[in-house]
Chains A and B, each alone.
Chain A
Amino acid sequence: AQSVAQPEDQVNVAEGNPLTVKCTYSVSGNPYLFWYVQYPNRGLQFLLKYITGDNLVKGSYGFEAEFNKSQTSFHLKKPSALVSDSALYFCAVRDLSEAGSYQLTFGKGTKLSVIP
């Protein structure tokens, strides 16, 4: 069965500094990886995905993620953090269940706090 780990419950970063939110995965076969963000009192918003191709994936709001097959990682990055980036970030892997459903398996989430 596939799994996703987000080793940090919380990440604090100063505004303007680069940020990284870590994610590692374990899947059989090719990984299909996603990042979602949840702002307070809002639903999960899709940020970016890796399906195939270039290991550096660019997404919404200036975020990007680097797929590293050898390290089984898919870390989320942004060159310069904004206070408005403060939110809960979820990494997810998508796989085909025995019943034929492409369901998402999520990590526990990482709370990002950007300090002014």
Chain B
Amino acid sequence: EAGVTQFPSHSVIEKGQTVTLRCDPISGHDNLYWYRRVMGKEIKFLLHFVKESKQDESGMPNNRFLAERTGGTYSTLKVQPAELEDSGVYFCASSYSTGISYEQYFGPGTRLTVT
């Protein structure tokens, strides 16, 4: 089966611009997660969708970040306006179920550089 895909793989934007990241989960996976790794630090949870609903968005840094998952398929994460500290690698993951034993499958990530 196809894995989790993310687009673009790399984005370089200037401070104040807008960027939209896309994630396509594994087909049939209702759960979709966004994580972020700032250079040299831990991978941090951002939010979790169950189908099209936000289950938990406690990790979203501020209101400049907006995530959507219309129709419960792919998801987008928009950063508007981007700031320097938003630079990092944004990972998307999906899982079949919310059960604690179900592993999350990760995409290759989008490397965002804000200059």
Q: Chain A: residues with CB nearer than 8 A to chain B?
A: 4, 32, 34, 36, 41-46, 49, 51, 90, 92, 94, 96-109
Contact = CB atoms under 8 A, between A and B. Distances in A.
Range of interface residues on chain B? 20 to 34
Interface in B40-83: 40-45, 48, 55-59
Contacts of A104: 33, 35, 43, 45, 104
B91 to A, nearest CB: 7
If over half of A's interface residues share one DSSP class (helix, strand or loop), that class is named, otherwise mixed; here it is strand
Given A46-B103, A98-B58, A104-B45, 20 more contacts: A36-B106, A42-B108, A43-B107, A43-B108, A46-B105, A49-B103, A90-B43, A99-B48, A99-B55, A99-B56, A100-B55, A103-B48, A103-B56, A103-B59, A104-B35, A104-B43, A106-B42, A106-B44, A108-B41, A109-B42
- Ranked 4 nearest A-B pairs via Cβ: A101-B56, A99-B56, A44-B106, A43-B108
A49 B99 CA distance: 14
Nearest to B49: A101
Contacts of B106: 36, 43-46
Given A94-B100, A97-B58, A100-B56, A108 B108 contact: no
A44 B6 CA distance: 13
B27 interface: no
B103 A105 contact: no
A30 B109 CA distance: 30
